[in-house]
Amino acid sequence: MNQNSNPDSRLKPIPIPLGRRWREFRRSVVPGVAFVAAAFAVALMWNRYVQPPTLQGLVEAVQSNVASPRAGVITQINVSRFQKVSQGDVMAVVVPNDPRLPLALLQSEIDVLRARMEPRLAGQRNATGFQQLRLEWLLQKVRLASARVNLARAENELRRSQQLVAARVISEDLHDEAVKNEERIAVEVGLIENVVEELSVSLEGLKASEGSDVQGSVMDETVVALEAHEKKLRIAQESLGPILLKAPMDGVVQTVFKRSGETVQDGDLILALSGLESQRIIGYLRQPISRDPEVGMDVEVRTRAAPPVVLKGEILHVGNQYEEVDRSLAFPRPGGALDVGLPIAVTLPPGLPVRPGEVVDLVIHPGTR
């Protein structure tokens, strides 16, 4: 009988070493598992980092410019770039070049008004006493304001003269002249103040009879003209001293255009402020637009930080025409053509960690309103 037919005589399987089994596993299973894992990771990263946005948006920066209302010299700049300020803080001081000019113009206008009143009111002396006295009081107040300006200038000259005499730059005679000039103007101011005070007392005594005595179209025109000149006088008196330029809002000093000691003209920019916070995001839809955006549509706002923060906003406003895209978002065009788009305003989601002027990605969801 053949020994090979005996079941007990069959050979046992040769054991496969563990190293060979691991090598076969790596060849047959690991590539497939690695491919699936890599595809999942790529899909996750694409969805989270590389997903193309519908458009780009710019966190709107609120800005405010501070300009000089009158020509003059900047005597103080109290802030520096990137400094935080609160609304109402004095940021700069401007001294007008010659505050006597509006006063001189006002005085000439009052003189013309008085010359016109004389012939028309010659026969109404009893009825016009109050208005004539009021006109004289107003004229004296203008003279007083001009004298006070001259006194302030004389006091400044005297202080400089004292410093120059102490430094032995000028003679004692020149210093004495400055002292006498200041004393003369001070006496003039005192005299005019007394005149104004006396006229004020007289006006109070005649005020009760103004309503019954002063009648007619001539007096009505005179009263209106006097009230207008009184208003001009108040404005001129307010502009005699230094002009305080205050912060119009809470913010940060973005740019300082002028320095202390520089001369400025009417409307010259001195400072630029930027707001601390923004309220919305501005984006531009370029052509072609598959579906017109509508107010109330949901918008996914994605920051460009690592990792990005994604929050929901909605469309606040849609522009009615295509406009030039902001330079921060514009794409270069061949031939220098302008990059235009349809502007939309999107709410800034609360808690979104962005700064004014920062670029974000926006994804509009047309199916939601």
pLDDT tens digits for 101-157?
555 656 666 666 666 666 555 545 545 566 677 777 777 777 777 778 788 878 878
| Cβ 250 vs Cβ 275: under 8 Å | yes
| Strand residue runs (E) in 149-267 | 243-246, 251-256, 263-264
Query: What pLDDT does 215 receive?
Result: 45
CB half-sphere exposure, 210, CA atoms < 13 A: 16
Classify each residue of 35-68 as buried b or exposed e, where b means 16 or more C-beta atoms within 10 Å of its C-beta. Answer: eeeeeeeeeeeeeeeeeeebbbbbbbeeeeebeb
Report how far Cα 226 is from the mean position of its chain's Cα atoms.
37
- Token pair of 201 as six digits: 């007392």
Sheet holding 63-67, edge to edge: 63-67, 269-275, 251-256, 84-85
pTM of the model: 0.50
Residues 6 or more apart whose CB falls under 8 angstroms from that of 30 comprise none
pLDDT tens digits for 38-91?
998 888 776 665 555 578 899 988 888 999 887 888 888 999 999 999 999 999
Q: What are phi and psi of 195, to 5 degrees?
A: -65, -45
Q: Which of 48, 90, 99, 52 is nearest to 71 (CA)?
A: 99
